[in-house]
Chains A and B, each alone.
Chain A
Amino acid sequence: MNLEVCLEKRLGDFSFASEFSLQCRRVGVFGPSGSGKSTLMHMLAGLLRPDRGHIRLDGETLFDAASGVHRSSQRRRIGVVFQHAHLFPHLGVRRNLLYGYKRLPRSERKIDPETLVDVLNLGSLLDRRVTTLSGGERQRVALGRTVLSCPRLILMDEPLNGLDEGLKYQIIPYLKKVFAEFDIPLLFISHSLNEMRLMTDQVLELANGRLHAQSCAHDLALRRMGNNATGYANMFELRDPRPRNGLFGYRWGEQELLLTAEGDGLYELSSREITLFKRHPEAISARNLLHCRVMNLRKAGNRLAVELDCGGRQLVSQVVEDAAQDLGLEPGVEVFAAIKASGFRKLY
């Protein structure tokens, strides 16, 4: 995907003005509410006409104020998954799913509805009315409906916002599966750091209608660690637990992690849960003691984010500045990181 955007729009007191170009296939748009995320999405989808600027997608001009080009939404082939799904209440699940698909010329129908139904696990829902679906089911149908319209780009506007925490992480694997299977570029709008980390490679950070920064999700999370009460979330994809004296051992690179929780999936570990030692402590209560090397130190508020290399795997811990001095932390120094077996939280 090659998306070039330069847009200006005034809406009452709010003004949006940003310019960026993207080559990456999984892009996030991050920012607090009122930062212009939705305005940007509506302009990209052709639902809101910008005052000035241009939008070019893969070399095709979708909007150009100077030459008066304004492609209508239905001709842009940009799919949107809205925050509250917005399924058609008068149609059943099947007809909702096929709404966009049926409007495609046959030659453009590149995605097989049956494959999609399998990937999103919608088989049992097909004959239901959309009003009887749960929040998570609705979002899956909405995603399927958009994917089946075979768009060149999918915009997702905080699609997980209305869902509770547990449900959110049940949907994410579906999202990842769909985008991996059908290879559709994605612009993912959210104010959740974890969602950004899981769904995107590159992140545009908006604030007050301006592009604030363009970085990768990992960098964004490190930078925001200071204003985040829960610190930086380390994420672990863990499989094949083996019982270890009442705990469960998982392979993580060259080492083994001991957890109280059992089951394959994605685990989260806050940077706060990692204690650093200068030398090998003889005996500690934490069940995981990893030998690591300090890669980098980054200031985040009144704390430091310590990026560690543990046998090729990355880990981020956080310390206050005094502690960093006592430990003599600087790039290249070797330390021991202690993690409690119960410090890990399963996301999905």
Chain B
Amino acid sequence: MIDFSPTDYEAMALSARVAFSATLASIPFGFAAAYLLVFVRLPGKALLNGLISLPLVLPPVVVGYLLLLSLGSHSWLGGLLSEMGIRIIFTWKAAVIASMVVGFPLLVRSICIGMEEIDKRLIQASRTLGARWYDTLLTVILPLSGRAIIAGATLMFARSLGEFGATIVLAGNIPGVTQTIPLAIFDYTSTPGGDRMALGLCLVSIVLALSVLLFNEGLIKRFRRSNRP
């Protein structure tokens, strides 16, 4: 059995906390963005789609650096936040934000695919039965997107567990504060004799990722059972 140090355990707990928070906080926004992209007629929809997907194709370091510029104390937003007494940079919140931005496209794309599969005539049916748009959204679109939301959230959670580039730029690599599993592995690999510990953390990563996948499969199966027996 590998002897993990307290900071390793902290890294594991932090990774889980960051990934959970980032995923949970993103779901409402992801759902809203997917709804806009799939159901609402918008001018410049292609541009919006491009902006949302951009973090998927940009190097995470670039995303992290841009976030650092816009949230740093010299920026307008960062200034506003620090006046309100909120510090984001180099705290675990920064890791959450980095994960949110980087994982967001995966979540939105997943939900979009699910929403596109919804028969548009079901939406027409609900409207002719007297449901307003928000009513249709909550009683038809949301339940029928459930599977896609779970699938997207799983992808995003997994992506957040592995987030490295944007996190190290925005949150730094502070053991016990912002050091997640990937950052800890990075530290071990650059320390002589750290191979064993790095491998141990890799194993933890694999176990975590696998359990997320299994959990996701289970949820989807249950969802399918309750929706179409």
Contacts and interface: CB of A to CB of B under 8 A. Distances in A.
Given A82-B121, A90-B227, A103-B135, A146 B129 contact: yes
Interface string A48-92: 000000000000000000000000111011111010101011100
A15 B139 CA distance: 35
Contact of B125 (A78, A86, A132): A86
B135 A78 contact: no
A89 B228 contact: yes
A47 B124 contact: yes
Interface string A129-144: 1011000000000000
A247 interface: no
Contacts of B127: 46-47, 72-74
Given A89-B144, A99-B126, A131-B229, A74 B132 contact: yes
B229 A132 contact: yes
B140 interface: yes
A100 B124 contact: no
Interface string B194-229: 000000000000000000000000000000000111
Interface in B118-147: 119, 121-122, 124-132, 135, 139-140, 143-144
Contacts of B229: 129, 131-132
A88 B130 contact: no
Nearest to A42: B124
B226 to A, nearest CB: 8
A131 B228 contact: yes
B125 A74 contact: no
A142 B227 CA distance: 18
Contacts of B132: 74
A70 B110 CA distance: 35
A231 B141 CA distance: 48
Contact of A86 (B119, B130, B143, B227): B119
Contacts of B126: 88, 99
Contacts of A103: 129-131, 135
A129 B122 CA distance: 16
A346 B125 CA distance: 34
Interface of B: 119, 121-122, 124-132, 135, 139-140, 143-144, 227-229
5 shortest interchain CB distances as A-B pairs: A100-B129, A73-B127, A103-B130, A90-B143, A80-B128
29 contacts: A45-B124, A45-B128, A73-B124, A73-B127, A74-B127, A74-B128, A74-B131, A79-B128, A80-B124, A80-B128, A84-B121, A86-B119, A86-B121, A88-B122, A89-B122, A89-B144, A90-B140, A99-B126, A99-B129, A99-B139, A103-B130, A103-B135, A104-B130, A131-B229, A132-B229, A145-B129, A146-B128, A149-B129, A149-B130
